[in-house]
Structure 1
Amino acid sequence: MRGNAQGKLLYDPEIEKTAKKNRKAAKLARETARLTNIAEKQSNIEVSSPITSDDEIRTMGDENPPPPPPPMRTLGDYGQNNGGNANLGFQPVNPVFFDIKNTVLNALKENQYSGAESQCPNLHLEHFDEACGYTDPPNVSESDKKLRLFKLSLTGRARDWIDTLPPNTIATWDELAIKFKERYFPIHKFLERRNEITSFEQGEAESLYDAWERFKLCLKKCPNHGLDNTT
């Protein structure tokens, strides 16, 4: 018969299990293909998405680098003027230069003012006036001369103070003298010195001469006391 010529059909007694196994394998193959396709799409998105990591941001910055941060400054940098040169110290509006005699230098250094509590700023100004009298440079005003010499009469913290004054802001000696008194002879010290004058008494073991000398010193320490000058 023709059926016998085509061969015999294979008989599978567990055909249902085989069919189920084939369907499961086909489903697993489809799921694997789907997941593979999703993974490839995510990979493509990550490649084309904006860079977010710090390292990648720094890499992008090579094309458009951000402005550099401002340089760190030390306290010494703040002692420089706008021109970038180191602050040379106190500079009046119109500085003058002249040779300073050794006698003047010695007189200034003998009574240098440091700002110590035991020193009197008004007595220092009086000594300074005396030292300035030892020189009279030609074509230099008295104001400019004192502006040139006053720094040499200071030492320690007082010399540091005068160097903190902004350059080119003091034009006359009177202006500098006012700044000096504002710093070292404020109102509370003025009241203390004035009270020493108004409440002055001769000591028990003090001679009249010594008391008088001490009283005149009190007047020198507070020259603008506003009291009547009686002898």
Structure 2
Amino acid sequence: MQGRKKVVRELLFDPEIEKTAKANRKAARLARQAARLASGIQETSKGESSSSHTSDDETESMAGVDPPPRRTLGDYGQAANGQNANLGFQPANPVSFDIKNTVLNALKENQYSGAESECPNIHLAHFYEACGYADPPNISESDKRLRLFKLSLTGRAKDWIDTLPSGTITSWDELELKFRERYFPIHKFLERRNDITNFEQGDSESLYDAWEKFKLCLKKCPKHGLDNHAQMQHFTQGLRAQTRMLLDASAGGSLKNKDESEARELVEAMAHNDYRVQNDRGAKKKAGMLELDTQTALLAQSQLMNTQMAAMFRASNVPI
């Protein structure tokens, strides 16, 4: 026990220990608040430093560039920098060439407005014809048509083509397809094809007028899918009995014995003669036309009977 040393710690006596403890707690609380405040100031300083760097970078990137002009609410819808807000339809690769007056006149003579009374297929036929007058050097046929087609439109049809997004049409085939989809949809195609397959000659319509009307039906629906033989069948079956009788007599007995080309040549020849007779006699009246049809039918019937009798006599070797 003698080797151990007693350590005696001297304790200080504090007569106001509660007051001292309260002061110590307050000092600790203030120290913690000071630490949090110092930490917030440091983070704020870092953020401001980063923001200042970004601002400097933006300032440097905008060096030498004029700021955009101030626009007020009254400027809404107005063009900026003197440029047109909408230039209308433009193909993906527009070309430029001089357009002759003959081409412009041909295009404007047959402009298409999209009205129900107009035929888009006939318009395309006129457009192709007008394009034939233009032959710019080093310009493809597709680019030429893309350049000229808008000039052949007017009214609502011209408004329609301007709704097509510029730079999306790369060839004339694409634009023609969109034009047909808009103005010659499937229901109109079926109507025009039905005009061919169910063709009928009018009561007071001559052979010439009926033939011209039928050919116009073919032009209004060029992709009808009917060959020449089917076309002639639909036409002849739609003729009145008197007209078919006349054609049979002129064919030497029956038009059914002729092939397609022979029947077409016969119809063309008789329609031409009919047109010439109409012009020689001047303007026709409805009553006169009916009278002429009756006389023509009687004449055709007489010719047919004579032809049949002659054939019978030849077959029986009886001299006529």
The equivalent of 1:165 in structure 2 is 164
1:189 corresponds to 2:188: yes
CA distance in 2, matches of 1:203, 1:157: 34
Gaps of 5+ in 2: 1-72, 233-320
The equivalent of 1:97 in structure 2 is 96
The equivalent of 2:202 in structure 1 is 203
Deviation at 1:228, TM superposition (A): 2.3
1:229 corresponds to 2:228: yes
The equivalent of 2:152 in structure 1 is 153
1:140 corresponds to 2:139: yes
The letter for the 2-side match of 1:146 is R
1:118 corresponds to 2:117: yes
* Residue correspondences, number: 155
CA distance in 2, matches of 1:215, 1:229: 13
5 Å-filtered alignment, 1:37-48, equals none
Deviation at 1:197, TM superposition (A): 0.7
The letter for the 2-side match of 1:106 is N
Per-residue Cα deviation, 1:109-138 (whole angstroms, up to 9, x for no partner): 000000000000000000000000001000
- SS class of match (2:188): helix
Change (3 A) 1:85 1:215: same
Q: TM-score, normalised by structure 2?
A: 0.46
| Fraction of identical pairs, as percent | 79
CA distance in 1, matches of 2:138, 2:158: 27
The letter for the 1-side match of 2:138 is N
CA distance in 1, matches of 2:134, 2:216: 27
The letter for the 1-side match of 2:133 is Y
Per-residue Cα deviation, 1:77-98 (whole angstroms, up to 9, x for no partner): 8xx9xxx961201100110000
Deviation at 1:208, TM superposition (A): 1.1
CA distance in 2, matches of 1:175, 1:72: 40
The letter for the 2-side match of 1:157 is R
Structure 1 segments of 4 or more deviating over 6 A?
71-74
Gaps of 5+ in 1: 1-70
Deviation at 1:167, TM superposition (A): 0.6
CA distance in 1, matches of 2:74, 2:176: 37
The letter for the 2-side match of 1:187 is I
CA distance in 2, matches of 1:107, 1:85: 29
The letter for the 2-side match of 1:177 is E
CA distance in 1, matches of 2:90, 2:131: 19
The equivalent of 1:212 in structure 2 is 211
Deviation at 1:73, TM superposition (A): 10
The equivalent of 2:126 in structure 1 is 127
- SS class of match (2:228): coil
The equivalent of 1:87 in structure 2 is 86
* Structure with more helix by fraction: 2
The equivalent of 1:20 in structure 2 is none
Q: TM-score, normalised by structure 1?
A: 0.64
CA distance in 1, matches of 2:75, 2:156: 24
CA distance in 2, matches of 1:216, 1:190: 16
Name which structure has the greater RCO, CA cutoff 8 Å, separation 6+: 1
- SS class of match (2:208): helix
